[in-house]
Amino acid sequence: MSNPVFQHAVLIGKHQAAGVTRTLAEIAGWLADQGVEPLVEQQTALLCDLPGYASASLHDLGREATGDLVAIVVGGDGTMLGAARQLAPWGVPLMGINSGRLGFITDIAESQWRGALGAMLQGHFEREQRAVLAGQVLRDGEPIYDGIAINDVVVNRSGATGLVELRVDVDGRAMYAQRADGLIVATPTGSTAYAMSAGGPILHPSLPGLVLVPIAAHTLSNRPIVLPDQVRIDIEVASRSDIGVNFDMQHFADLLGGDHIRLQIAPYRAVFLHPPGWSYFSTLRKKLRWHEILGADD
């Protein structure tokens, strides 16, 4: 390969997936043959047998990146989201090879990685930026947790019974109070995840918006609502116990009555690289099993 656009590639794998070590080893050897230095993410290196390659944490790699680093993720969307959360603040782009099930954002078939990566490392790719949701949990006005999400932040009950009581403000103005099983605040990327299963709309990833979706609201008039992405959302917990908050389904801790979750779009974006000819609508047709459009290529 002549003059690849990236000089270094960090490999990240879902170590529980069958065959992932073999795939990672094949990709690493292939990258070296193409003149790209393969690196291995620290946790992947610990859990997969990939001797002979340098390893480092994604934080350290991102902090030291100079624009010639790309991340190659082998796994499902969960693995991709975990890597994106760590690399988004540094602007490191990600390519996803799908060894999972749905694969909304890991869109390179595992059987086709050589052809796809060969073209993409030569600069033939679709570059896409996705919004990142930044959040903070406040107790008695003091921050006790900071987190980010590519998909969504979910406030819901952690016990088996009972409703969650929440008050929601937007830019300091009261929007509503609700009693429900919980509330999802989703980015356009997350609109096809939990928010969709709870009855929310699909947002195209280029839209500058956020969707709030109640989970099994006690009042049927509490409907999903789409907000502009410049707003600040404050969620106050009015219930007393058995409530938790999740950032991309990464559980934080149980919340107390009076706690606040403050959310707004981060000043940076997650960068995903897709194979040439990639189409968001093609992804929806395949993953949601929509009827194919007559005459469509895929």
Q: Is 77 a catalytic residue?
A: yes
- Which of 233, 243, 224 minimizes the C-alpha distance to 173? 233
Q: What is the strand order of the sheet 250-255 is part of?
A: 225-228, 209-215, 182-186, 152-157, 243-247, 250-255
* 117: helix, strand or coil: helix
In angstroms, the CA 255 to CA 237 distance is: 8
Is the Cβ–Cβ distance between 23 and 97 less than 8 Å? yes
Strands 37-41 and 8-13, sheet pairing: parallel
In angstroms, the CA 9 to CA 164 distance is: 44
Annotated catalytic residue within 77, 107, 234, 248: 77
Q: Which tokens go with 153?
A: 């932040």
User: Which are the catalytic amino acids?
Assistant: 77
